[in-house]
Structure 1
Amino acid sequence: MGEFEEIKLESQMHPMLTAATPFDILVEYGRGPQAHLKGDVHYALQLSIVLCGSVEAVFGDWSRIFQKNELWWTMCWEPHAFRLLARHNMIMTVNINIDNLGSVGPCSNADWLAPFTVPPSRRYCPSTDEEHLEIRTIARSLFRLESRKPLNWQTHCWLLIHQMILRASENIQKEPQNNVSLNADMSRIQRAVSLVRTRPVPPSLGEAAAECSLSVSRFSVLFSSAMGVSYGQFALRVRLSSAANDVKTGLFTLNEIAEKHGFCDASSFCNAFKKLYRCTPNEFKLRH
């Protein structure tokens, strides 16, 4: 979709997501129809449920209109956009720390990442009355628990979130795979994922592979399989997100930002930045 290439993205941060608080639940009320799409990119895994109204979600060349009790899925650092279409809209968004995904105790060898990593057109969306009822019931329970915060509300929410993800994973038509192997693949690359997020400049492909005690070729295959994108694409999005935060402060020159985040010069940084955020660093700074 050519229109998507013109959308300016916002870099979203979710600093409260930790091992102790691996998710948050946000509810947005809005009036429509909105004329323009709002772009977004962030590290957290995200699933969004339409509680009322309708929403258009766009991922590159693919788009879909989601109605009440339908939902869409977003992988970490995946550029996307949406707009509210109905007169009254209510959207629940669940942000999840990928480091804790699937941490539900024994018997948890499901393909938890599948709903986020398959192409957008294949991601699960309820299609039957039974499935719509299930999503509505879970969404209402999440809303009630997050609002009232009764005893053990976070545990209840965490299990309900994984119930939705499990339903989605089971409904995705993928090639037969060993889920134990899939989880093992994720655990083998987890060290590299953590380093990308915590180092000022992400490790090179060779360094990341070495940190995981894997050959470059084996690491590349495992990373792409588990994360849905290549290591290079993932690392670049992380670098640009960190650089975007420096751009917003206005405290650094473009040359300083480029050097800090591992770009060879300001020109290469600006070109990469514009490809992801659909605007120049200066235009991005003016919006903030």
Structure 2
Amino acid sequence: MIASINSFTVMPCTILFFYLVQLIFMTPPQKIMLSYVCVKSEVVMTDFYESNNDIFSLLPVQIYRHDLDGNLIYSPLHWHRSIELTVTLTGDIRFNTGSSHFDMKESDWILVNSCELHSCSYVSLNDHFTGISFIISNPFIEKWLGKNLFFYNPGNKQVTKEIKKIAQVVYNLDPEDEEYPYLLMSNTYALLGILNKYCKADGPSSKAGMNSSDITVRFTEYIEAHYREDLSYEAMADHFKYNPTYFSRLFKESLGVNFHSYLNFVRASHAAEQLSSGKMSLTDCAFDNGFPNVKSFITTFKKLYGCTPGAFMQNKK
């Protein structure tokens, strides 16, 4: 029964905490290529992830509490080796994973797997969103649940009810309370119990997973270094010594989107950061981020963010 998972009483909290300190280590920070705001962090630190975050280096989970309006509901395309569970407590948010997007409302939740590209944004500029993200260390997951796993939302109402209950409890915890680490870990173990019983499937082989991860890093690093240029998939294929047709297929298999969609997403993400500062004109922003002309910039930006760059910039003021 899911209800029993919430009553984690296997060991006293103090013993649990020091056991974790000795045996569990956080995932080493991974270089994120897609946000110049925080290039060397495992999680991109836009307003979305900076909202009331608590990071305990000795714990295998990071908690981000979100209470955001309009275009502050935003995080650019990125990936991390940790597993992410984000729960919507109130309001709306759009999550993008690969070529798919999910409009989430109250009580909806999403699991983002290790090294899976994802981003989030508002659904409309009038949105307000409160929610919580659990970023759970991959070594911690592997220690307790096994390696090479794939996690998913099974669409079970009872599971959703239990996950929201845990999310609400953790959201309301006081990080200044001396009992906070113990209470956080107790609820994290409750989540692990749910993931283990209802939300996991076998993933790719470890060798295939490592190869895919390595390719993802190489491709994203290259685009991050060259997105301002007149970059084509033929030129990138030549750089990596691939046949263009094979490269195009490999790129989509590795990142979940085609080359041009990903390149435009990176360019638009950087442009959104620049527009937020209010210090650059639309024309300068378009060319500074690799768009061939202003029309292309506006079309791409509106497709990704649901509004023109001008409206986005105006809403930031």
TM-score, length of structure 1 as denominator length: 0.59
Q: 1:261 to 1:130 in 2, by over 3 A?
A: closer
- Distance in 2, Cα, partners of 1:214 & 1:161: 46
> How do 1:1-288 and structure 2 match up within 5 A?
15=38, 18-19=41-42, 24-28=62-66, 40-44=74-78, 47-50=85-88, 54-58=90-94, 63=103, 65-67=105-107, 71-73=109-111, 75-77=117-119, 79=121, 81=123, 91-94=131-134, 102=138, 109-111=147-149, 115=151, 123-125=152-154, 127=156, 129=158, 133=162, 163=192, 167=196, 171=200, 177-178=204-205, 180-199=207-226, 201=228, 203-210=231-238, 212-288=240-316
How far is 1:243 from its partner? 1.4
- Distance in 1, Cα, partners of 2:253 & 2:178: 37
How far is 1:43 from its partner? 2.8
Can you give the 5+ residue segments of structure 2 that lack an aligned partner in the other structure? 1-34, 44-54
**Paired AA for residue 274 in structure 2:** D
- Deviations for 1:57-103, whole angstroms, at most 9, x for unmatched residues? 55688545443xx622465235553866xxxx96212468xxxx846
- 1:119 aligns with none
Percent identity between matched residues is 15
**Paired AA for residue 26 in structure 1:** Y
- Distance in 1, Cα, partners of 2:239 & 2:198: 30
Answer yes or no: is the 8 Å Cα contact 1:26–1:93 preserved in 2. yes
Q: 1:142 to 1:216 in 2, by over 3 A?
A: farther
Q: 1:146 to 1:187 in 2, by over 3 A?
A: farther
How far is 1:169 from its partner? 9.8
Answer yes or no: is the 8 Å Cα contact 2:77–2:265 preserved in 1. no
SS in 2 for 1:77: strand
Can you give the 5+ residue segments of structure 1 that lack an aligned partner in the other structure? 1-11, 116-122
SS in 1 for 2:38: coil
Whose radius of gyration is greater, 1 or 2? 2
How far is 1:242 from its partner? 0.7
Answer yes or no: is the 8 Å Cα contact 2:174–2:180 preserved in 1. no
Q: Which moved more, 1:271-280 or 1:137-146?
A: 137-146
TM-score, length of structure 2 as denominator length: 0.55
How far is 1:187 from its partner? 1.4
SS in 1 for 2:123: strand
**Paired AA for residue 209 in structure 2:** L
Q: How many correspondences in the alignment?
A: 248
Q: 1:267 to 1:233 in 2, by over 3 A?
A: same
